[in-house]
Amino acid sequence: MRQLTTVRLVARPPLPGDADALVAIFRHPGVACWFWGRLPDDDDIATMLARDREHWREHGFGRWYWAERGSEEVVAKCGPRFKVVEGTEELSMHWTVRPDRHRRGIAAEAVEAAVTDAFQQVGCASLVAIAHVDNRASQALAERTGFHRERRVRDHGEPCVLFRRYNEASASLNASSSPSSIE
């Protein structure tokens, strides 16, 4: 099974038994408000896990499930997934950290590793991140991890901000292969 590692974290694709880990992350009012506007029920959790697993099966990448090193306990979910944003298919980066691990830098560490992996393994030109207009913490994290505010969008009917991060390696390859206009 493919893994990503950072100084403090180990990530792996989702497993069939990860529902309890998702409950620990998403069944908290401070987290659930950004996704459902209510606490997710067992069907919401099962659907999320099934979608994450299906994306991995179809594409060979997706949302990673992150544990602190030395632990099998999932403390975050972070990674890219295809998503249609206002009629355009984008590769969308997502991050959510278990509430008892907030404010420890886990999200930033996972985002950096997941972005690097997406650019290297998927070879995409850019990634987007979407944060609710009132979710200042996610907006700040997007900016801290190199995403730039692009525009307002609606996601699931909610007002959000779309951020984008470009693959610098892809941009430099395109620039070096483009004919120069200087003579």
Q: Over the stretch 54-77, which tens digit does the pLDDT of each residue have?
A: 999 999 999 999 999 998 899 999
Q: For the whole model, what pTM was predicted?
A: 0.88
The CATH number of 4-177, from 3.40.50.720, 3.30.1490.190, 3.40.630.30, 3.20.20.70, is 3.40.630.30
Domain ranges of the chain: 4-177
Distance CA 55, CA 58 (A): 5
Distances (CA, A) of 63 to 75, 87, 171, 177: 13, 22, 24, 32
Q: Over the stretch 156-169, which tens digit does the pLDDT of each residue have?
A: 889 999 999 999 87
Q: Over the stretch 90-118, which tens digit does the pLDDT of each residue have?
A: 999 999 999 999 999 999 999 999 999 99
